[in-house]
Amino acid sequence: MTQPGMTPEPSMTPPPSVMQPSMTHPNVRPFSFTAADQALADLRRRVTATIWPDKELVADASQGVQFATVQQLARYWATEYDWRKAEARLNAFPQFITEIDGLDIHFIHVRSQEPNALPLIVTHGWPGSVIEQLKIVEPLTNPTAHGGRAADAFDLVIPSLPGHGFSGKPTTTGWDPIRIARAWIALMQRLGYTRYVAQGGDWGNAVTEQMALLAPPGLVGIHTNMPATIPEAIAKALASGGPAPAGLSADEQYAWDQLDYFYKHGLGYANEMANRPQTLYALADSPVGLAAWMLDHDIASYRLITRVFAGQAEGLTRDDILDNVTLYWLTNTAVSSARLYWESHLAFFAPKGVSIPTAVSVFPDEIYAAPRSWTEKAYPKLIHYNRLSKGGHFAAWEQPQAFSEEIRAGFRSLR
Amino acid sequence: MTQPTPIQPAPTPPPGMTSPDVRPFSYTASDDALANLRQRLVASRLPDKELVADASQGVQLATLHALTRYWGTEYDWRKIEARLNALPQFKTEIDGVDIHFIHVRSKHDGALPLIITHGWPGSVIEMLEVIGPLTDPTAHGGSAEDAFHLVIPSLPGYGFSDAPKEVGWDPSHVASAWAELIRRLGYTRYVAQGGDQGAGVTDAMARQSPNGLLGVHFNFLSSFPTEVLAAIFGGEFAQGLFKRVAVAVVASRAEKEHAALAAVEALFMRGYLAEMNTRPQTIGSTLTDSPVGQASWMLDHDTDSYEKISRAFLKGQPSGGLTRDHILDNMSLYWLTNTATSAARLYWENAQSIAAAIASGKKAPEASVPVAFTVFPGEIFQAPRSWVEKVYPHLTYFHEADKGGHFAAWEEPQLFSEELRAAFRSLRQSGQGKVGNEQRMHS
């Protein structure tokens, strides 16, 4: 992969104090999205006309996403689900598009009313989107109304990754997490922020860590809910499929067991997307196929979603899940988003040498719950480490209150 | 390798198709199904074009676009349907699963019964062009002594065979079913052939060594001693980053067969292996609803066949039998029978049985029958003779063909047929008296 060049910033941006709440930069355009009635009708028609495989031959998820779950999802999607609600909710946020490095980047930008709010850029992952982050906008930007103090306030920037959601689809190769990190730095600069923090999980973590490695002057710290901490010896043992090294602590053993399962049973989608993203035409043509593929991200979130469609109340609702899948469908971004796996040559869970202050929140149902011992080695300037009792891969989406409190606590020392 | 599952035997029939458990079969797609397929093809929603000038991001948009257009307009399923129905096709229930097969008996006395097993993403359609040369050699450049009686089954979960309702139909189980099928057809001496998953099944047959199996022929190397796999790969096998060709990596490390090693490593880059080994239901849920999606997934099997098939659609230059119509015959068969998911499960089953074998530490029995092997130059990897000898000590024939790829019988039916004639010739000679008596008894 050649290193991408950045487009130089065309003009200086005024400091935040003189900026309006909305975007005053000439290259930042307001954005809203309204799906065509025809697109929604076509979606419903396709869901209703789904051709189904026969049921899996096992009583669990060991052959993949289960027939009953996908059927429940499809029934709800075709009948009760209403995209217009999600659309209205999105359009109620200040959304913008700005071209960076030749690509249109979509983002939500919500400024706090609090004068000393800390600017924070939050990056989603796959199969996520800005929809994952909507529930934390209020707690983070308006903390006094949500159990926090004025001193906890953030200005929030929530971009859509290239090829995801309303951001443009790259038409050339090279948009790996490093290039995206450069674009995010440019975005924060364009918004006039000179002192800010960054946060992410999944690919959002990869991008956030690369921002930290690029070390722009304004970036004072990061928070991650999917830290890359796996020590080399552990990674080797996992790759060989061999037994766990002796002498692991209880937390390390728990992480090992999660990773061992993921490596043995859960990497199929990542392998396909990393090598053959274009082959996944079925996801562009079949909404139910797209949903099944997106549900199969990690076993814990799959189980949670299965419970949700079986009628159990959990951190996510049926609408949450379908808002996100519908966004992928309406923007036809299954393949363009899969290309991020192809673009990245970074070892996903290996420590990257981040040397700026780092806050880590560990949710128990994440792909792996990073032990403190590994985390301290991966992030020498660890300013916050907390293990939560509940939550998984989509932490902000699933546990917005706990997640928001983690963000406040994680960055408190940097204010 | 797991132990073969016992198959419930049926009464031994007289020769030919007289067993009461064997029913004639033909298939006619409904007009509705064909109209629905065309309507879906026309309404296909495609992603944006790949960002590269080659196939390094997967199946290219232009290829798929051309395929979809041809499939939705000019292609005619009724032609292949008529051709299939002109062949003697049958179904018979074995161990609870209705197995479909083509059975063509040669007119020649002394014809050697041969069971050919297809793989993924193939079907019996791969084998249609070898029926003439193998059963009627005198009309296809061979001699009467080259004749075969042909049995071409559809794997469980593939084509017109039923999909298993229970887990456990791994290649070893299929191999046991094939032995029962052959027995049910009244053959007591026969040979077997396979490539791809068919090689896995045929390998299992060679190791089970059922009564009457004289020898086998492979056009794909699929096996290696379990203890070597366990020693070198350990539990990595369970990760799904393997087909049974993974074995070749083992050998290559020892032998530094760099070209083959690179090819095998490239195979591992094919995500379809990892996905179907671990999540057949997930990928199946995407493929059964989208003909264009299913086509793409099936096209992405190996570089050589993908490039050849792309040329057929983009430039009208098919390689041998890999014509647009033949490719779409096979894809339409998968579509009309809704077998994308059930077919993918064979990978899952295979992965389960290999993981179990590794966990148990049991050594697979050695193939005790003579083994013949043909290497086709376009195959995923060109198995060196030394690897094949290591896997099969009773190697009686080894030849490197000068053209053809993964779908050898489909692409180069004449060459493939000549290979089978040559490969099995010595087995006929050594057992000629017995085979001759057998055939007279059956005729």
Q: Does B293 touch chain A (CB under 8 A)?
A: yes
- Residue B9 confidence (pLDDT): 54
Taking CA–CA distances from A292, the nearest residue in chain B reads B282
Give A392's strand partners: A365
Give residue A19's pLDDT band: very low, low, confident or very high (50, 70, 90).
Answer: very low
Q: Exposed (0-12), middle (13-18) or buried (19+): which is A237, by Cβ within 10 Å?
A: buried
What one-character-per-residue DSSP string does A338-362 give? Answer: HHHHHH--S-TTS-----S-EEEEE
pLDDT digits (tens, 9 = 90+) for B74-127: 999 999 999 999 999 999 999 999 999 999 999 998 999 999 999 999 999 999
pLDDT digits (tens, 9 = 90+) for B229-266: 443 444 444 333 333 334 444 443 444 345 655 665 56
Size of interface A-B (CB pairs under 8 A): 203
Q: Average pLDDT, stretch A386-401?
A: 98
| Three-state SS annotation for A243-300 | CCCCCCCHHHHHHHHHHHHHHHHCCHHHHHHHHCHHHCHHHHHCHHHHHHHHHCCCHH
Give residue A238's pLDDT band: very low, low, confident or very high (50, 70, 90).
Answer: confident
pLDDT digits (tens, 9 = 90+) for A142-176: 999 999 999 999 999 999 999 999 999 999 999 99
Chain B from 240 to 259: CB within 8 A of any A CB: 240-241
Taking CA–CA distances from A58, the nearest residue in chain B reads B167
A71, A309, A54: which is closest to B281 by C-alpha? A54
Taking the C-alpha atoms of residue B443 and residue B438, their distance in angstroms, rounded to an integer, is 9
pLDDT digits (tens, 9 = 90+) for A84-94: 999 999 999 99
Q: What is the mean pLDDT of chain B?
A: 86
Chain A from 82 to 141: CB within 8 A of any B CB: none
Give residue B356's pLDDT band: very low, low, confident or very high (50, 70, 90).
Answer: confident
- Residue B266 confidence (pLDDT): 61
Contacts within 8 Å (CB) and 24+ apart, A387-391: A387/A251, A387/A362, A388/A361, A388/A362, A388/A363, A388/A364, A389/A364, A390/A315, A390/A363, A390/A364, A391/A315, A391/A363, A391/A364, A391/A365, A391/A366
Of A169, A241, A281, the CB nearest to B234: A241
Give residue B360's pLDDT band: very low, low, confident or very high (50, 70, 90).
Answer: confident
| CA dist list (Å): A344 to A214, B5, B47 | 16, 45, 20
Taking CA–CA distances from B36, the nearest residue in chain A reads A49
- Ranges A219-233, B271-285, B421-435: which has the least confidence: B421-435
Give residue B149's pLDDT band: very low, low, confident or very high (50, 70, 90).
Answer: very high
The residue from A193, A341, A368, A385 that is catalytic is A341
Residue B299 confidence (pLDDT) above 50 = yes
Give residue B272's pLDDT band: very low, low, confident or very high (50, 70, 90).
Answer: confident
Cβ separation of A51 and B50 shorter than 8 Å? Answer: no
Cβ separation of A289 and B285 shorter than 8 Å? Answer: yes
Identify the residue with better confidence: B259 or A371: A371
- Residue B238 confidence (pLDDT): 37
The residue from B196, B302, B304, B329 that is catalytic is B196
Q: Does B281 touch chain A (CB under 8 A)?
A: yes
Domains in chain B with CATH codes: 22-39+57-442 (3.40.50.1820)
Q: What is the mean pLDDT of chain A?
A: 93
Q: Is the peptide bond before A231 cis (omega within 30 degrees of 0)?
A: no
Q: Does B47 touch chain A (CB under 8 A)?
A: yes
Residue A253 confidence (pLDDT) above 80 = yes
Residue A8 confidence (pLDDT) above 50 = no
What are the sequence ranges of the domains in chain A? 31-36+83-344+353-414
Residue B406 a catalytic site member: yes
B6, B196, B172, B16: which is closest to B88 by C-alpha? B16
Taking CA–CA distances from A331, the nearest residue in chain B reads B47
Residue B136 a catalytic site member: no
- Residue B235 confidence (pLDDT): 43
Chain A nearest-CA distance from B242, in A, is 11
Q: Check: CATH 3.40.50.1820 for A31-36+83-344+353-414?
A: yes
Give residue B140's pLDDT band: very low, low, confident or very high (50, 70, 90).
Answer: very high
Residue A361 confidence (pLDDT) above 90 = yes
- Residue B227 confidence (pLDDT): 40
- Residue A16 confidence (pLDDT): 40
**3-class DSSP state for residue B215?**
strand
Cβ separation of B340 and A53 shorter than 8 Å? Answer: yes
Q: For residue A149, which amino acid is it?
A: R
Identify the residue with better confidence: A169 or B359: A169
Beta-carbon contacts of residue A397 (< 8 Å; ≥ 6 apart)? A128, A131, A132, A133, A135, A315, A316, A320
- Residue B231 confidence (pLDDT): 39
Q: Average pLDDT, stretch A4-17?
A: 38
CB A196 within 8 A of CB A217: no
- Residue B264 confidence (pLDDT): 58
Residue A109 a catalytic site member: no
CB A392 within 8 A of CB A410: no
Give residue B439's pLDDT band: very low, low, confident or very high (50, 70, 90).
Answer: very low
pLDDT digits (tens, 9 = 90+) for B48-76: 999 999 999 999 999 999 999 999 999 99
